Amino acid sequence: MRALVTGTTGMVGANLVRRLVAEGHDVFAVVRPTSDRRRLDGLEDRLRVVVGDVTDGKALSRLVQEAQPDVVFHFASTIWGRVPESQSAAHVGVNILGTCHM
């Protein structure tokens, strides 16, 4: 199976990626340019890390066309409290628009 996974540097996404890789699946892991990738350590040669942003609908469309995934797991999100409320546009962009783009 070929899977495209967003939110791969978070706890849920990273654990799913590890499971998919262990089962021998072809994984495209979408990460933001600023993401801390420690949760993906040791997997670099067993998956395809794609730097991207779920708020960029055109780039996501190109990625999906390139990857041709059998399944998409969408875990990308921002967490209230980690992003100041004054930056609520970031929450809307990632949590709502990102989901719509996926």
pLDDT tens-digit series, residues 23-32: 999 999 999 8
| Tens digits of residue pLDDT in 65-91 | 999 999 999 988 776 566 566 666 666
SS3 call for 2:
strand
Say which residue, 7 or 79, is predicted with more confidence.
7
Is residue 52 within 8 A of residue 34, CB to CB? The reply is: no
pTM, to two decimals: 0.82
Instruction: Calculate ∠ Cα 35-86-34, nearest 5°.
Output: 10
pLDDT > 80? residue 92: no
Tokens 């041709």 found at: 68
